[in-house]
Amino acid sequence: MRPRALAGAGATALGAVTAIAALVIGTTAGHAETVPSSAYGIAAEGPVPIEPMPYVESTDGSRQENSAFTLPENPLVSLEVAKVVAEEEAASAELLNLGLVPGAELPEQLSSLDEPLQQLMSGLEPACQADNPAAAVNEAIGDVLPGQIVDQLDPEQLCASITAGETPALVSIELVKVACDATSGSVEIANVAMLGQQVQIPPLEEETPILPENPLVTITANKQTTNDDGSFTVVGLEIDLGDGTEVITLGSATCGFSEPDEPEKPTAPPPTPVTTGLPVTG
């Protein structure tokens, strides 16, 4: 009986070796994770909503572009040109000649902000007619705008516009450019004006205030966020009207990513019967 047992053991061992060989040869490929890159020129949330536009998205890493030369009709923002691009781990947005609250008149939907705006505008005309216009204008706008902004405005130039009946936009911006590359971002801004007066642009560190917090309008530049899905977003300017009543985003770029395929993993196919050449004796 012993030889029969040895023959059975030999067949079992050979079958195990064959199964191991099959385990090494059989494989399956892993799956790569892809998060798209995207960009848009402008969006707004609040009583005057604006859907992100122009919008572009790259889901496969290829370069995608979109542009717009006008905005949908709205009483809040004007824009001449916007161009957006998205590709693998990169995105950008560029906007030209923006006007916020053209003519310094708020739309009906934002009537709750009328008080500070009307306080500002109604005080300017009599101030410009005062014996000392500079002092009177500084006093009129100082009750609404922060001191560092008041100090940058030229009362004579402002009064010249108002006297001529050419009330400028509350805020105008010549250029906003924003871009991201993987997990880094950059923002460029040119010629920001408040009521037609140039406002000094500080070095654009992350979350830089251009117009500090005040009852009327706050502008923050270069907001950077790492999102829950691992993508990275840079916002050129965020404009806050009336302490969050209306929030406008100007220039947003999001860099997605595509992870490389995982190494192939071995799989074990069903074992196959093995025939041995060992003799079996009784």
The total number of residues shown for the chain amounts to 282
Neighbour count for residue 192 (Cβ, 10 Å): 22
SS3 content of the chain, % helix, strand, coil (to 5): 25, 40, 35
**pLDDT tens for each residue of the chain, 282 residues long:** 433 333 344 444 444 444 433 344 444 444 567 899 999 999 999 998 999 999 999 999 999 999 998 887 777 888 999 999 999 999 999 999 999 887 667 777 787 777 777 777 777 778 888 888 888 888 877 767 777 777 777 888 888 877 776 777 888 999 999 999 999 999 999 999 888 888 888 899 999 988 777 777 889 999 999 999 999 999 999 999 877 889 999 999 999 998 766 656 665 566 666 555 555 555
218 token code pair: 């706050």
Domain ranges in the chain are: 34-258
Neighbour count for residue 210 (Cβ, 10 Å): 23
User: Considering the entire predicted model, what is its pTM?
Assistant: 0.74
